[in-house]
Amino acid sequence: MKEKFYQYIQNLQDAITSGLEAIDGQATFKEDIWKRPEGGGGRTRVIENGAVFEKGGVNISGVHGKLPKAMQSYFNVGDVDFFACGLSLVLHPKNPMVPTVHANWRYFEMYDADGNIVDSWFGGGQDLTPYYLFDEDAKHFHKICKTSCDNHNADFYPVYKKKCDEYFYNAHRGEGRGVGGLFFDYCKATDDMSMQDWYNFVTEIGDSFLEAYVPIVERRKNATYTKDQKDWQEIRRGRYVEFNLVHDKGTLFGLKTNGRIESILMSLPPQVQWRYDHHPASGSEEERLITVLKNPVDWI
């Protein structure tokens, strides 16, 4: 399974970066191949200063070796070996009318002293972070998420949509990071779902990503905007940074397993503002966004 999924994310990285370069029309992805001293490595691709994307990364990695002590405590296990691979992407558009998007699809294995698999699971998801809320964009994103889920289990979308709203939540701010999408983790073999079934589900979600995001970008990328609207985008990006550095489990795992720092922190936007005690004007579009982020919406 690990070889099959790693091959899949290599192909998916190629498909997504090619699709995004076509949309941008100006910038291309820079590629870095890196090795992890303890085992494994990855392929980082970053786009910057484009016509559409101010900064973005589409990264894959496959790492293995002894599970570090800090992560043994996290998983409540002893000395074990592990393998983890996944694709992680974040795109920060230039135009504040285009939402930021994040996605991740991953696979994990643990082994005993004899090299036997003692645990394995899939995880992942995708979520949308708008700066100006267009209901039709949120509905489109969620519709694609639901359609992909429904092809496997009608219960998946409502469950994983709720988990996404709960996970991508800045508790210290009392608001969601964005308008959500899907979040699933510890997807293990059961009587109802084999690991092959989970593979089929996760890869369908991955394959649907461009369909979920590209139409939104095309719709908004040429919209006019003011300096005040750009400032608002950068203030909201600050909330994105706060989540990734305070709450995100993927950031923690990367740092605790001696991952490549540049690849882990690729998700951070290039231009950000933190203004003291900033509040949007009453009745404004900015205030409407905040109101929605405090109360998750059923977009379907």
Is-catalytic flag, 102? yes
Q: Which of 169, 186, 187 is nearest to 178 (CA)?
A: 169
Catalytic residue among 102, 152, 172, 278: 102
Q: Backbone phi, then psi, for 55, in 5-degree steps?
A: -160, 140
Tell me the C-alpha distance between 257 and 165, whole Å: 27
Q: Which residue do the tokens 């191949």 mark?
A: 33
What is the b/e burial string over 264-279, where b = at least 16 CB atoms within 10 angstroms of the residue's CB? bbbbbbeebeeeeeee
Tell me the C-alpha distance between 178 and 170, whole Å: 10
Sequence-ordered list of residues with C-beta below 8 angstroms from that of 264, at least 6 positions apart, any chain:
251, 254, 255
Catalytic residues: 102
